[in-house]
Structure 1
Amino acid sequence: MCAAALLLLVIGASARPLFGATRTATAPVLTAAEIGFAQDMTVHHQQALLLAQRLDPAADQPVRRVAQEIEYSQRYEIGIMQGWLRLAQAAPTAREPMAWMASDMAGHGHHGSAATTSGTALPSIGAAMPGMAAPAELDRLSVARGLDGEILFLQLMLRHHQGGITMAQAIIEQTRTGAVLDVAREMLLTQRKEIGFLSALLVARNAEPLPFP
C-alpha cells in the first residue's frame, strides 16, 4: 500500500463534515458499517500478526519472508483503520462484532474465537469472523516445527486471508466513502496476491489448503 493511503485517511474523514449546516447538529465521520468494518478488520488483522509471530523462527526463508510481508502490510492497515476510528470518536473494538455484515454471514463458516497479538483469546470478539484460527490451532502453531510448522502456518494464513477478503468485499458493497473503498480494494489486491504466494508454497510442500468457509 502506498503512502498516499494515509492522505486518503484524512481526506476520507473530512469528506463527511464534522459539523452540519447548523451548529447544533453533527454529522458522522463514518457510517455505522464503516466503523464496524474498521473495528472488526483490526481484530482480524491482529490475529494475522499473531500467526506470523508464532511461525517457527527456523522456517525456510521463503515462508519467513511472506510472513514478514504480511505482518508489515497488516500493521500498516491497522494504523489506518484505528486512525479512522479516532477521527470518528469510536471505540477501537466493537460491542457487537460483525453486526455490520451479519446479513452477509449466512453460509460463511468461522473457526473459533479471536486472539490478540498478546495471545489473549477474545471469544466474543471475532467468534463470527470468517477465516479466524481457533485457539487450539494457534496453540498447535506455537509448538509446530520444521515442515509441519511451515505447512500449518501456510494453511492457517491462507484461510485467514480468504476470510479477510470476504470482509473487504462486504464493506465495498456497503460504503461510498472514498478512503474506505480505496483501502478495502487495496486489501483485496494485496491479500489475493499473498494467497498466490501461500498457495505456491503449499504446493511446493505437497500440502493442501484448509477448507473455507
Structure 2
Amino acid sequence: MTGPTRTHWAAITAVVLALLFAGAATVASAGGGKDAKSLVPTATSADAGFARDMAVHHQQAVEMSFIVRDRTQDDEVRRLAYDIANTQANQRGMMLGWLDLWGLPKVSADSEPMVWIRKDEHDAHSGHSGGHQAMDGSLMPGMATRADLERLGKASGKQAEIEYLRLMISHHNGGVTMAEGCVKLCAVATERSLAQGMVDAQRSEVDLMADLLRKRGAEARP
C-alpha cells in the first residue's frame, strides 16, 4: 500500500502547486491588475520568449502523456500521465493567453528557441554560446526527438512505462532549467510566480518518476 499511496499523493501535490500558481496568474491577467496587463513586455523579452518556448515544451509533454496512456494499463503511470497532461495543458493555455494579452505573436519566426536565456548566459560569460542549447536534434532543453517519440509509440506495457518515465524526467529537468531562467529574468511578477510553481512541481514529479523507474528495475538516463 505504501507505493501507490505515495505515488497518488505526490502527483496530486505537484498538480495542486502548479494549478494554484496558474489560477493566480489567470486572476491577475484577467482582473485588470497592475501586473500582466499594465506591464507589457516586448516581443524579444524574456517574458515573451519564455511564454512562447514553454508553451511548445508543454505541448510535447501533453503529447507524450497521451501516447503512454494508450500504451499501458498501469494505473500509477496512467494517473501520472493524466496529471501532467492536465496541468501542462492548463499552463500552456495561460501562457498563450498572456501573449494575446500583450499583443505579441505566439510564434517568432525571426528568432531561434531559447534566445532569451542564452543572451543572458552570453552576457554573464563572455564568449560562451549558451549551455542550454540542445545538441541532440531537440529544440529546447529536455525535449524528446522525433526518434524518441517514435520509440515510445512503438513500445507497450512495462517498456512503454520505462520509456515514458525516462523521457519525462529529462523533459521535466529541461523545463526546470527554463522556468528557473524565467524566475531570474522575467519582469512580470505573475509570470515569475508561475515559473517558480513549475520548478517546485516538476522537481517533485521527477522524484516520483525516479521511484517509479526503480520499481521497474530501471534508472533515468544520465
TM over 0.5: same fold? yes
Q: Determine the C-alpha separation between the residues in 1 that align with 2:93 and 2:69.
A: 26
Alignment-mate amino acid for residue 24 of structure 2: A
1:126-184: CA deviation from partner (whole Å, max 9, x where unpaired): x2x10010100100001100111100000000100000000000111112321111110
After TM superposition, the structure 1 = structure 2 runs for residues 46-195 of structure 1, keeping only pairs within 5 Å, are: 46-57=59-70, 58-95=72-109, 96=111, 97-103=113-119, 104=121, 106-108=130-132, 110=134, 111-113=136-138, 127=139, 129-195=140-206
Q: Distance in 2 between matches of 1:155 and 1:108?
A: 19
Kindly, what percent of the aligned residue pairs are identical?
38
What CA distance in whole angstroms lies between the structure 2 residues aligned with 1:91 and 1:135?
26
State the Cα distance separating 1:203 from its structure 2 match: 1.0
CA distance in 1 between counterparts of 2:29 and 2:85 reads 20
Q: Provide structure 1 residue ranges, at least 5 long, that are not aligned to the other structure.
A: 17-28, 114-126
Which one-letter code corresponds to 1:207 in the other structure?
A
Counterpart code for 2:63: L
Question: How far apart are 1:94 and its partner, in Å?
Answer: 2.5
- Which deviates the most, 4-13 or 199-208? 4-13
Residue 208 (structure 1) aligned with residue 222 (structure 2): no
Higher relative contact order (CA 8 A, sep 6+): 2
Determine the C-alpha separation between the residues in 2 that align with 1:156 and 1:52. Answer: 10
Contact 1:66/1:197 (<8 A) preserved: no
| Secondary structure of 1:48 counterpart | helix
TM-score (norm 2): 0.78
Aligned-pair distance for 1:112? 2.3
Gaps of 5+ in 2: 1-18, 122-128
Runs of 4+ in 1 over 6 A off after TM superposition: none
How far apart are the structure 1 equivalents of 2:185 and 2:194? 14
Contact (CA 8 Å) 1:56, 1:146: kept in 2 or not?
A: no
Separation in structure 2 between the aligned mates of residue 148 and residue 178 of structure 1, nearest angstrom: 41
The alpha-carbon deviation at position 109 of structure 1 amounts to 5.7
Q: What corresponds to 1:44 in structure 2?
A: 57
CA distance in 1, matches of 2:94, 2:142: 22
Counterpart amino acid of 2:67? R
Shift of 1:4: 2.7
- Kept in 2, the 8 Å contact 1:33–1:174? The answer is yes
CA shift at 1:8, angstroms? 2.5
Q: Which residue of structure 2 aligns with residue 121 of structure 1?
A: none
